[in-house]
Amino acid sequence: MSNTRHHCLQTSIFVGRMGFMCAKQHVKLDRLLLAWLLLCYGVNNAYCLTVHENSGDLHSLLEFKQGITSDPNEVFSSWNTSTHYCRWRGVICTPKRPWRVWGLNLTGQSIAGKITFSLANLTLLSTLDLSSNLLVGQIPPLNGHQQLETICLNDNSLEGTIPNALTNCSNLRKLNLSKNHLSGAIPPKIGSLSNLKYFDISCNNLTGSIPSTFSNLTQLYFINLFLNQLEGNIPEGLWGLPNMVILELSHNRLIGEIPQSINISRLQALGVAFNKLGKALPSNIGIALPRLQRLAMGRNTFEGQIPASLGNASGLQLIDLPENSFTGQLPADWEKLSGLTRLNFEKNMLEAGDIRTWEFFHALRNCSSLRVLSLAQNRLQGVIPNSIGNLSTTLQQLLLGENNLLGVVPPMGNLHSLVSLSFGENNLGGSIGDWIGKLQNLQGLELSGNNFVGTIPSSIGNLTRLTQLLLDGNKFEGSIPSSIGNLSQLSKLTLRYNNLQGNIYL
Ligand SMILES: *[C@@H]1O[C@H](CO)[C@@H](O)[C@H](O)[C@H]1NC(C)=O
Ligand SMILES: *[C@@H]1O[C@H](CO)[C@@H](O)[C@H](O)[C@H]1NC(C)=O
Ligand SMILES: *[C@@H]1O[C@H](CO)[C@@H](O)[C@H](O)[C@H]1NC(C)=O
Ligand SMILES: *[C@@H]1O[C@H](CO)[C@@H](O)[C@H](O)[C@H]1NC(C)=O
Ligand SMILES: *[C@@H]1O[C@H](CO)[C@@H](O)[C@H](O)[C@H]1NC(C)=O
Ligand SMILES: *[C@@H]1O[C@H](CO)[C@@H](O)[C@H](O)[C@H]1NC(C)=O
Ligand SMILES: *[C@@H]1O[C@H](CO)[C@@H](O)[C@H](O)[C@H]1NC(C)=O
Ligand SMILES: *[C@@H]1O[C@H](CO)[C@@H](O)[C@H](O)[C@H]1NC(C)=O
Ligand SMILES: *[C@@H]1O[C@H](CO)[C@@H](O)[C@H](O)[C@H]1NC(C)=O
Ligand SMILES: *[C@@H]1O[C@H](CO)[C@@H](O)[C@H](O)[C@H]1NC(C)=O
Ligand SMILES: *[C@@H]1O[C@H](CO)[C@@H](O)[C@H](O)[C@H]1NC(C)=O
Ligand SMILES: *[C@@H]1O[C@H](CO)[C@@H](O)[C@H](O)[C@H]1NC(C)=O
């Protein structure tokens, strides 16, 4: 379970951005109310008390308090009948008589216990935020709550299903049930929540398929179904929701393909990694998703070419397509993607051979913020072009291992931000130049399984941050440079299967 939580933080398209809290306090309302309450209590306390004594809301709240088994912050100490419930901690009332409960917000109070069904009787409740607590049990059937706009129960330990009754909350704009232990299917009637904008059920145990009624929810802006056990096809209508900005479906068991009809002009982030999706990507994807910034589709069975049209989505920052079956050559005209930071095609069947296919690297010269480039475990052949040395100096990881590369490694001393550099398991030859000593940030250098000859450059001894130096399975000769003994961080050094002599003094 802790593993699951950990995963939950790693949702591919959200890394370091685009998080949404259960936010948007109605500050104005709060102030109005506070002003009235101060007045009320100052002037005529008794009158105010009688108002709430008759209210069903009072009893609903008191019953809710009964359900709480642990309250380390003493939130509920103010919840007593000698105080009007509108002044209880976390309770927000309507700004006008008869002072009904409009909001209940006890986020992050470490309260434990069950949510009693009595909340269903707070018929004017608009905002319910009990997120980030230790609540267990089921979500109450909040039926008859036409007023509910926001429900945040995320980050608890709630079980059971998503109650069908929630689909009666026709004003619901935001539903966050992320990080619980919910199971069962998403109620198909969800499609009647025509005002829904944010729908987050990530990190639960939900099963069944994504209801096709989602297609009716044209207001949807944010869908996060990450890390559940949803199966079946993705409803076609989801690919045409006009207001969608973030669509995260990763870590489920979804099948099918992404249709050619895809058209979401506002979409900025699309995640479908770790599913069972396949076939070719729509060739027009970069034109159909012109605002796309983050695309995560790793670990599926996608095949065919990487669509060149991605090069038209000029805001792209992250393209993460590892562990698929993409074939063909790399697009040669991605000059527009100057904001790319991560480009990962690891474990596919991409090819390169003649000069033309390597034009890909030329195009990437304009990506001045590139940090990660991985083409490891593909079918790249031929000689690495010199233009590799002209990739951005921001590059931190350059991974080209397990291909069929030939020739010598061009000088790359400019790439001084490199932390990991791998050419392992290719057919590269020649000697490694002294330029390697310029890569002062290098922590991992993998050259194993090639045909490198000559001496190991002594400038390697300048790479004081190296933790892994893998040189085995080559034809390095001569003595082992004594400078390697300077590498105090080194935890893994492989030298076997070479023609080396001498000792190392670590
Ligand atoms: C929902 O809750 C999760 C977990 O607390 C949080 O990370 C996410 O930002 C929330 N989503 C929305 C749309 O508020
Ligand atoms: C609940 O209150 C917290 C501050 O205590 C606030 O950050 C959060 O946005 C509120 N939730 C809702 C749904 O308004
Ligand atoms: C009721 O709550 C108020 C704070 O709102 C507190 O001052 C008072 O001591 C409480 N009374 C009892 C009987 O707990
Ligand atoms: C809701 O209110 C009705 C009538 O006021 C009452 O009969 C019922 O028991 C209440 N339900 C809960 C769960 O408190
Ligand atoms: C939804 O509301 C309708 C009428 O308002 C009611 O008949 C139905 O039972 C409610 N459904 C649920 C699941 O509460
Ligand atoms: C999902 O269910 C499995 C087995 O039933 C359980 O081990 C796991 O902890 C559950 N995950 C969540 C997030 O509830
Ligand atoms: C979806 O919209 C169509 C047409 O507007 C309507 O006939 C259908 O009942 C809606 N489905 C749901 C579940 O609301
Ligand atoms: C894409 O959707 C927009 C509305 O969001 C529509 O105006 C446009 O015609 C659609 N394009 C295609 C090719 O279907
Ligand atoms: C997409 O990019 C290609 C090559 O850069 C260009 O020829 C084409 O006009 C672009 N299409 C659109 C719709 O921007
Ligand atoms: C290269 O990037 C710059 C912005 O960094 C942009 O102005 C220029 O048009 C790009 N070159 C090409 C060929 O797209
Ligand atoms: C890098 O680009 C510069 C200028 O564009 C050029 O002079 C240099 O030869 C290039 N280096 C490599 C290794 O291609
Ligand atoms: C490596 O360090 C040596 C001194 O130990 C220095 O003479 C040499 O210039 C350095 N080489 C590079 C490539 O930085």
Task: Report H helices in 84-176.
Answer: none
| Per-residue pLDDT, 56 | 87
Ligand 7 pocket residue status of 167, Cβ below 6 Å: no
Ligand 10 pocket residue status of 365, Cβ below 6 Å: no
| Per-residue pLDDT, 272 | 97
User: Which ligand sits nearest to residue 412's alpha carbon?
Assistant: 11
Give mean pLDDT in consecutive 10-residue pieces for the chain, a chain of 506 residues: 46 47 41 42 38 71 96 94 90 86 96 95 93 97 83 98 93 97 96 96 97 95 97 96 96 97 96 97 97 97 96 96 95 91 96 76 89 96 89 96 94 95 96 94 97 94 95 94 90 91 68
Give burial (CB, 10 Å; 0-12/13-18/19+) of 82.
Answer: exposed
| Per-residue pLDDT, 1 | 35
C-alpha 61/C-alpha 118 separation (Å) is: 7
Residue nearest to atom 7 of ligand 9 (CA): 312
Nearest to 387 by CA among 352, 425, 434, 419: 352
β-pairing verdict for 492-494 and 468-470: parallel
Residue type, 469: L
CA distances from 317 to 19, 53, 62, 75, 292 (A): 17, 58, 50, 44, 8
Q: Which residues are 308's β-sheet partners?
A: none
Q: Which of 168, 170, 190, 192 is the best mutation target for the ligand 5 pocket, counting ligand atoms within 8 Å of the beta carbon and taking the most?
A: 168
- Asked if 459 and 484 touch (Cβ cutoff 8 Å), the reply is no
Residue nearest to atom 3 of ligand 5 (CA): 168
3-class DSSP assignment, residue 344: strand
Taken in order 59, 61, 64, 69, the sign of the CA dihedral is negative
User: Which ligand sits nearest to residue 287's alpha carbon?
Assistant: 9
C-alpha 249/C-alpha 230 separation (Å) is: 9
CB atoms within 10 A of CB 401: 23
| Per-residue pLDDT, 20 | 43
Q: Which of 194, 216, 217, 241 is the best mutation target for the ligand 7 pocket, counting ligand atoms within 8 Å of the beta carbon and taking the most?
A: 216
- Asked if 495 and 480 touch (Cβ cutoff 8 Å), the reply is yes
Report how far ligand 2's centroid is from the alpha carbon of 176 (Å). 13
Q: Encoding tokens for residue 169?
A: 């909350």
Residue type, 466: L
Sorted by sequence, the CB contacts under 8 Å of residue 129 that are 6+ apart come out as: 22, 103, 104, 105, 106, 107, 150, 152
Report how far ligand 10's centroid is from the alpha carbon of 159 (Å). 51
Q: Which residues are 477's β-sheet partners?
A: 499
CA distances from 164 to 169, 175, 182, 252, 349 (A): 10, 13, 13, 22, 45
> Which region holds residue 295: left if phi is over 0, alpha if psi is between -120 and 50, else beta?
beta
Residue nearest to atom 10 of ligand 12 (CA): 459
Instruction: Cis check for the bond before 235: say yes or no (omega within 30 of 0).
Output: no
Residue type, 18: M
